[in-house]
Structure 1
Amino acid sequence: MPNRLLKNKTMKNQIKLFIISLILFSSGVQALAQKISEWRPENRTGVSAETGLLKSWPAEGPKLLWENLELTKGNSSPSFGNNKVYITGTEDGIDILYALDMNGKMLWQKAMGRAWNESFPESRATPTIEGNRVYTCSGIGDLACFDGNTGEKIWAYQASEENKGTYGNWGIAESLIIDGEKLYFSPGGPETNTIALNKTTGEIIWKSESIDDKPGYVSPILVQYAGKKMLINVSLDHVYGVDISNGDILWKVGHVNPREGRDNILCVTPLFKDGKVYVTAGYNIGSYQIKIAGDANSAEIVWTDDVLDVHHGGVVLVDGYIYGSNWLNNANGNWCCLEWETGKKMWEEPWNCKGSVIAAEGILYIYDEKRGNVGLVKATPEKFDLVSSFKIEQGNNGPFWAHPVIHNGILYIRHTNALMAYDIKEK
């Protein structure tokens, strides 16, 4: 073969190998950066990044695509991956992970751990999905990792029990959070407040010191601030930051207006922006904002509020304003808007009952917990501006506590044993 032809053939082979290498490298990068589906997207803010959604609904509500009435009772929200919907329920003292297809058909169900065995035992933590793995937390603090396609249990760890964890009056409600190779959980108690596990094996990487406090019913957030990456969580007596590189407690702040002799009701994932953290609790405790110091080694309260004492429906921050519903002395509660920078009340209005809230495209999606009304409200500090509403009729008796979720133009609403999917995409 002439040298020129041999050289051309060699160059072609090298180009082919280079292209194959690029494809493999690209696949590897994609695998490392797999999208996570979890509690209150995006990044646990409850403010969806989805666009092109309906700005109003018909009187009967958006189109119902499907419903599944085969679940057992639970209050978790759905999460997504592997062309499946994952959600939990409780039966005979066991929390169960369900996998549905994207049309709501039941594919399989697996026991994930021991359920909470006292008041309100229904499942509560939302599954966390990364790639082909599903991570769950039961009401008693049993953690597990499943194959997202087959349901095979990959590992399990009785995290609260093994770490001398303690419980408030309503057990554990923490949706697990993933960060690189780590998975975090907060058992509380005398031994440690927060632990980091290897997400692949379930083995312990580090344990934080103990602040000798019971865990709240909160799913924490991860933030980057002052050159440090920290986990911010809420226990029954404190809000605190953990250095995720080694488990050090960076700062902690005691709650305002704690209930003497009784557990606080701390269920709301905190909000974070520009070094400030917003925390709220029901039972007339109110809310407050703290500022983390420039070195991230301390924090202090900058304002307090006695209007927005959120029970467990969550809050969202939209364009500089906080939206949620208050407890109001164990009555139906009102819907409220506060200014982020000052805590100033912008409005407070009744609508059916307090409940959960998420947001997308400058619109609030609210779900009243007593009667099951779903509302579409403009996120404006000017007034409570209800655009549309409809009522959920499906599901067994019980409160409407599961938070709504928007995924690929579909609004998912749960009520006890029922999960419904509504088309909210603009046509």
Structure 2
Amino acid sequence: MRKKTILSLFFILIFTSASLAQKPTVWRGGNNGVYAETGLLQAWPENGPEILWSYEELGEGHSSPVFANDKIYLTGMVDGEGFIFVLSQDGKLLWKKSYGKEFTDSYPGARSSVVVDGDLMYVYSGYGVLSCMDSGNGDVKWTKNAFEDFDGANITWGVTETVVIDGDILYFTPGGKKNNVVALNRFNGDLIWTSAGKGELSAYCTPLLVELPARKLLVTHTADHILGLDAKTGQLLWDFPHTNRWKVHANTPIFYNGGLFCFSGYGQGGVKLNLSEDGSSITKAWTKTELDSRMGGMVVVDGYLYGSGDNAREWRCVDWETGEETYAAKDIAKGVTIYADGMLYCYSERGELALVKADPKAFEIVSKTKVELGSAQHWAHPVINNGRLFVHHGNALIAYKIK
């Protein structure tokens, strides 16, 4: 009996370990910019958090690092060629591998983050090439061209979408008239389903996968609409008009407490949509033009939305249920927002890095520093991992000690 029990426990442990190892990385973490780490510094030293290390040979790019297989994966562009850089936890280059031509036009550089799922990884280039590669050595397993294979077309500033993986399925948005949003078998690239959506171009958006009791829902932006699709079949369940002058909708929608918040810049702002229980329909709850972050994301914490705008440059806090604004502040320039352990981490387009209390009553900066290393625009979304804050700024990845 004891031998059977030991064997059963052994197989449970093996199965659990395998399941955990296969969990894919997700853009902005598993909870859309809200990180679960605790015990983090509630104030930084006078000169800012200690820099543990930096790696400064990434070339050009705006993507975020991901963490898997005890390694760090990050994209960059060198001489027009896109590379996946694989670093050790202490910032040493282990290897790098080309995934082909990268975006060299306006605001050049690698755009999308790598997605790693066990022994495979995926990267989507600014020119619409999706590559599946071995996460251990970079060998190419299969590729698809969104524009040639799925009647898509590129957009003004290049494809900027991190693909979404769920189990055996990979989701992305070619933006074709027929193949607007598609689901592929992630192991071989075979088509599982295709949706015509609204037949619009893609819009720089990484989709959101929402797990409801009745179904999984895939939510994304295309040029002029928000789309809600059944993730199993690709059926378009609902759509909602949402556009701006440049058709840029780079922020992943936020799901919280049965509702969706979808938002974009250039003065368009955001709309909260209430989902029906089975996700098959929506009703508009409220809109707010001042919540018009162009590409910096927002976070929802304890029933409040936090983030900065674009035309409306202030940092704002808004009640999730009512849309009522609780503060607006201009202490730092507009930028990216993430959250952990009671604090907002605000990274502005001027390179300001601020630690701010997540308090709906006031935008209170506790500590502030300046990102001096790196190059070009301060656009990449920071990531928190194992007591460290990672900031990608052009040619540099910087690891700050925040615990």
- In the superposition, the TM-score normalised over structure 2's length comes to 0.95
Provide Cα deviations, 1:298-343, integer angstroms capped at 9, x if missing partner.
Answer: 22322111211101111000111111111126xxx22111111111
Give secondary structure in 1 for the equivalent of 2:338: strand
Does 2:196 correspond to 1:209?
A: yes
1:226 to partner: Cα distance: 5.6
Q: What is residue 359 of structure 2 aligned with on the other side?
A: 380
Paired with 2:392 and 2:19, the residues of 1 have a C-alpha distance of 32
1:154 to 141, 155, 162: 141
Give secondary structure in 1 for the equivalent of 2:57: coil
1:26 to partner: Cα distance: 2.9
* Contact 2:23-2:118 within 8 A present in 1 as well: yes
Paired with 1:92 and 1:205, the residues of 2 have a C-alpha distance of 36
Paired with 1:21 and 1:292, the residues of 2 have a C-alpha distance of 42
Give secondary structure in 1 for the equivalent of 2:18: helix
Q: What letter is aligned with 1:267?
A: A
Q: What is residue 423 of structure 1 aligned with on the other side?
A: 401
Q: What is residue 124 of structure 2 aligned with on the other side?
A: 137
Q: What letter is aligned with 1:404?
A: P
Q: What is residue 287 of structure 2 aligned with on the other side?
A: 304
Paired with 2:101 and 2:284, the residues of 1 have a C-alpha distance of 38
**Residue 20 to residue 295, structure 1, CA distance change in 2 (3 Å):** closer
1:63 to partner: Cα distance: 1.3
Paired with 2:4 and 2:213, the residues of 1 have a C-alpha distance of 44
Provide Cα deviations, 1:25-84, integer angstroms capped at 9, x if missing partner.
Answer: 4313431343332211123x1000111100000111111110001111110010011221
1:183 to 165, 170, 185: 170
Paired with 2:83 and 2:8, the residues of 1 have a C-alpha distance of 42
Aligned residues: 402
Does 2:221 correspond to 1:221?
A: no
Q: What is residue 401 of structure 1 aligned with on the other side?
A: 379
Q: What letter is aligned with 1:47?
A: V
* Contact 2:256-2:300 within 8 A present in 1 as well: no
Paired with 1:159 and 1:23, the residues of 2 have a C-alpha distance of 44
- Aligned ranges 1:13-412 → 2 under 5 Å: 16=3, 19-20=6-7, 22-33=9-20, 34-43=22-31, 45-225=32-212, 227-255=214-242, 258-259=243-244, 262-328=245-311, 333-370=313-350, 372-396=351-375, 398-412=376-390
Paired with 2:293 and 2:333, the residues of 1 have a C-alpha distance of 12
Q: What letter is aligned with 1:178?
A: I
* Contact 2:58-2:78 within 8 A present in 1 as well: no
1:16 to partner: Cα distance: 4.3
Paired with 1:310 and 1:209, the residues of 2 have a C-alpha distance of 28
Once the two structures are overlaid, the 10-residue window that deviates more, 302-311 or 114-123, is 114-123
* Contact 1:38-1:127 within 8 A present in 2 as well: no
Once the two structures are overlaid, the 10-residue window that deviates more, 55-64 or 150-159, is 150-159
Shift >4 Å, 4+ stretches = 15-18
Once the two structures are overlaid, the 10-residue window that deviates more, 199-208 or 355-364, is 199-208
1:21 to partner: Cα distance: 5.3
Provide Cα deviations, 1:178-201, integer angstroms capped at 9, x if missing partner.
Answer: 111101111112112211111111
Paired with 2:39 and 2:30, the residues of 1 have a C-alpha distance of 16
Paired with 1:216 and 1:115, the residues of 2 have a C-alpha distance of 18
Once the two structures are overlaid, the 10-residue window that deviates more, 239-248 or 141-150, is 141-150
Once the two structures are overlaid, the 10-residue window that deviates more, 111-120 or 143-152, is 111-120
* Contact 2:197-2:227 within 8 A present in 1 as well: no
Name the % identity: 41
Q: What letter is aligned with 1:291?
A: N
1:357 to partner: Cα distance: 0.7
Paired with 2:140 and 2:262, the residues of 1 have a C-alpha distance of 35
**Residue 84 to residue 293, structure 1, CA distance change in 2 (3 Å):** same
Paired with 2:23 and 2:279, the residues of 1 have a C-alpha distance of 28
Q: What letter is aligned with 1:390?
A: T
Paired with 1:134 and 1:400, the residues of 2 have a C-alpha distance of 26
Paired with 1:159 and 1:168, the residues of 2 have a C-alpha distance of 12
Task: Choose 1 or 2 for highest CA Rg.
Answer: 1
RMSD over aligned CA atoms reads 1.7
* Contact 1:226-1:296 within 8 A present in 2 as well: no
